[in-house]
Structure 1
Amino acid sequence: MEQSIKMVLMKQTLAHQQQLMASQRNQVQRLQALALMCRVYVGSISFELKEDTIRQAFLPFGPIKSINMSWDPITQKHKGFAFVEYDIPEAAQLSLEQMNGVMLGGRNIKVVGRPSNMPQAQSVIDEITEEAKLYNRIYVASIHPDLTEEDIKSVFEAFGPIKYCKLQQGSAPHRHKGYGFIEYDTKQASNEAISSMNLFDLGGQYLRVGRAITPPNALHSKTPAPATSHMPTAAAVAAAAATAKIQAMDAVATNAAGVLSKLGAPGLLPTPAGGIIPPPGIAIPQQIRAPVPILPGLPTMMGAGQQPGAVAQAQEAIRRAQEAAQAKQQEELQKKLMEEAEPITLQAQENMSIKGQSARHLVMQKLMRKVESRVVILRNMVGPEDVDETLQEEIQDECGKYGQVEKVVIYNEKQSDDEASEVIVKIFVLFSKMQEAEYARDALNGRFFAGRMVRAELYDQALFDHNDFSG
């Protein structure tokens, strides 16, 4: 019976640990999805603009964590696009809604959210946004530093009763970070506040108001700490004993039924004196061949002949070993999850850390690294008058000789805003592998098509993923 109780306890502990690991995996995925929601991609940036101009244009929507502009080491200029990462997802969503197509430095910039090549995070993001719809919360940014929560509440309560109004506090006392959240009793009140107060001049600053896309305290949730079990030790032992008893009774009943069915045939076994059939014996193993690992949350039981002091010392040593093993297990789990998923910070994606004596070698390696792209751009292949319904199919058939073609995009680019301006046709071909794209580039570059010499080269993968064909 004691061995059965131990086995039940082990199964319960394993099931609890699996639930804990699944919960932590979901929590890490949720945090990574929130980090992804904080980013926006800004394309079609004039080469004359610097990072300060981008920061100044996007700062009214909320505090910016980082701006990463990809630089070309040959031209010493940026490549015409940047990644802006905010502290909160609402700021990124508001900038996406209000900055896309805005004229900046003589060009209409393009602002988009998550790249199309990250479908694994979409389900988690949809779950977060659906959860946010349960609350009538709005996001308010670009708040004057001298205004208080009471000032903001007095202005916004004209649209309906307010449950709470909270401004995000800064590091300095009695100073906020310029943004906050307001929750109304009704959805109608929140919608009216957004439509009426967005771009409202309050204290010399234009407010930026939008709907909250995350539930309350979404960014403040922590990864659950390792826990053994919420069930007391005595209760766990009692539950395991009851389960083992039921399992033993089931086994006895099953074996008895089998023996009785055999005894029903005459002459098989002699009947003992008195006509009493003894119950079948149950073989309980006295020892387990392989040592059973001690798992977190497994209660320890005192054996016969053990001294209380020695047992207490042994239990303390086991507890410390359990905590160390648990911490190491959680660390390995989170490390594995972080390696499999997208890096959370843009700096981790874009920058290369250079230390030690190999710094010069790493710098040269960074400058000379191969451009990893599966996209080939074909220039000067056709004119606007040559674009018809069959062109895309012809290009796909031709490029299919060099690999598997996943997508063909024909883009007509006007050189200016004038109606009579020249139109250049760019053709983008997305292959399934980078080697296929390189093979197609080498084969098509310099070839003649309908009297035109085609110029083929690899196109920036990030630009293509964000549907930016201006490069």
Structure 2
Amino acid sequence: MTMSDTIDHKKSDKLLERKKRKVLLKEKKSRIIVRNLSFKANEETIRSAFSRFGQIREINIPKNSDGKMKGFCFVGFDAIKSALKAIKEMNAKPLMGRTVAVDFAMAQKKFLNFDANSVQSVPKEDNETADEKLVMDGKDDSDGDDSEGEDNDGEDGDEDENDGSGSDDSEDDMSAKKKINPKVLNDASEERTVFVRNLSFGTSAEALNEMMKQFGETQYCKLCVDPYSEHSRGTAFVKFKSKEFADQCLEAALVDDNSDLFLDGRQLNISLAITRNKLKDLEEKRSEKNRDKRNLYLAKEGLIYPESPAAEGVSQTDLKKRLAVSFAIQY
């Protein structure tokens, strides 16, 4: 075997491995967990309840060592859109006499981290601002490449682990290696990157990138992904090869109900990605604008409490009127 044949063989193996990862990632993202399930449920009743949302790939009902159900199951669909429909239609709805909780399945390690962090107080932050910071800081906690993902997709039996997908340290290392170089994302000042909102949660990076190519060649298309669920947040960044292409895209976005920006049943909202400094200025202006400038302390002027020294000599009727006015101003 020649050197050329060896190189071609390695390339073929890498391509095959990438395709396998893509299939595994798709299967993982289209998997849901159904909690508070009736102990009388079986695969047939579950399939009957969820098959109307799309083709079901698998149904996994974890059981205890004694053979009894644990009260939850996993349902894997062939498409993410089917999983989204199932969550929308079945979450908090009755199934066999019990109100079930339906959500995307999550890897064990990520679910445990999410559960631990959820009890801590997290400062409120606008979703749009959080997404825009990804470009400004050149940092991202999510894997924006839909073509690559974690390899393992085993099955665990404990509901607290929330997913039948196994997860280990090697997966985290692999995921970290596949992330886009942070330096590449720190390019908003070039004015070639646009920020896309109102994406369907089932829209893939490939589909969005293909649509954006109508305005010119793109350099990358990156979905903003939740670090825990690994599902799209409904926003993305698209960088064009030149500023001219980005300008054409932004001009098209100014047209109301532009069919060129309609994807997966949604009208996309597109704006220019901004730098971190500009984002900070906008946040300060927004904070200043929302600041209450009313001098509400003046509302208490003239208020006399019944048992205060100032109430001496004031009739009860007058005191009641003053209290009533003060209460009306406050509420």
TM-score (norm 2): 0.34
Which of these two proteins has the greater Rg computed from alpha carbons? 1
TM-score (norm 1): 0.25
